[in-house]
Structure 1
């Protein structure tokens, strides 16, 4: 997967903080400090994600969005701005931005939103995802097991998709929570809350496949095992 990110931000201190964090998290962050520089960089190559400030020295970052989408509509645009008025959010989203994050923000939240957007865009262009006798169609969020459509709740679906994306990897309850529940951190430390949802998914999969795919790795988390 392409891990390049274009960051258009004129606050050099924030720019360095974000870039260092993203680079250390497995991304490759390219930086620009103005609309002109950002457009020049974007015009040369495809970036799956653009992080876009609004108050830039040569204009309003909102003016960048139609340019970005006209060249690569698949690019996910996340606005990062101190402007927190509703009209700014609405204007940005109406112009084609995919997300809006108000400064100051936690780097962990930025990371989660970037990954959520990458997953969404990746699966939007995928025909189907296969694991053993389970088939997921991301275009309509449909799950088939042995050719038969099986109903899953939104949370069960998102958990199943995340497990399949990371099959054979051990996933901590924190990572599962972050990718499925996002900002609802009030439940983050509630192990029973996580276990309940994992257990429901596990039982539904076993009911329709006869297999116990989701294994508990004691002291670490859970993983999806290939049989």
Structure 2
């Protein structure tokens, strides 16, 4: 089944370019030229991704984010805008957008951002993932260790899920930032930030298993490994 993308963009030339490219990449695209038209489509279907311009004829796209998330919390919102000020990026992300891409951008980068967001939101696919004594339910965002339900924050859950999806592979700090924090990762240049989150995950795993599953690979990053 094709993933559904709603493109809210008033530049009709760009709108058509995006729809053609993404359709050829395997997505099902619906287009709207303004906020009200875009909102009307939410009564008809679920969209996995919304590409949202900010400077729209009938208002600011920022005002549309809370509406999108209130209808479909699991819809990924990627802002596409010519506004490149830090304040606009921070405002968009704080309001609930999942990523922010400044125009002009390469279509291949947009495609990569969309696929990265879909991977981060893999809980759309109702499934159970296991690694050692860890069980992740991606439909309910729950983590069990030795059959005991353990409390994980959203970011901790996203990090652990990404490690399990890439078990036995070395993951760099940069890839962890990009996967979990998306465009917001450009604001985070302190390696202590990622270490703090990983350390919390390690502590929860070790408390219940007695083992440290997340190994530090000096000079490269981290690896999830039972041995």
When normalised by structure 1's length, the TM-score is: 0.61
Mapped to 2, the partners of 1:130 and 1:88 lie a distance apart of 39
1:40 matched to 2:1? The reply is no
Unpaired segments ≥5 residues, structure 2 = 147-157, 169-174, 184-219
1:20 matched residue in structure 2: 20
Question: Which of 158, 161, 164 is the aligned partner of 2:165?
Answer: 161
Quote the offset at 1:130 in angstroms: 3.8
| Residue correspondences, number | 179
Shift in Å, 1:28:
0.5
CA-to-partner distance for each residue in 1:165-215, whole Å, 9 max, x for gaps? xxxxxxxxxxxxxx87869xxxxxxxxxxxx889x77xx46x4xxxxxxxx
2:97 corresponds to: 97
Q: 90-99 or 116-125: which moved more?
A: 116-125
Partners of 2:97 and 2:133 lie apart in 1 by 37
The alpha-carbon deviation at position 17 of structure 1 amounts to 1.4
Displacement after TM superposition at 1:137 (Å): 6.0
1:79-111 Cα deviation digits (max 9, x unpaired): 000001111111111211111111111112111
Structure 1 alignment gaps of length 5 or more: 146-153, 165-178, 184-195, 208-227
**Separation of aligned partners in 1, 2:103 and 2:82:** 5
**Correspondence for 2:79:** 79
Change in Cα spacing, 1:107 to 1:96, as seen in structure 2 (3 Å) is same
Report if aligned partners of 1:49, 1:114 keep a CA contact under 8 Å in 2.
yes
Q: What is the DSSP-based 3-state SS (H/G/I as helix, E as strand, rest coil) of the residue aligned with 2:100?
A: strand
**What do you get for the CA RMSD once the two structures are aligned?**
4.0
SS in structure 1 of the partner of residue 83 of structure 2: coil
TM-score by length of 2: 0.61
- Supply the distance in 2 between the matched residues of 1:120 and 1:96 (Cα, whole angstroms): 15
Partners of 2:66 and 2:88 lie apart in 1 by: 15
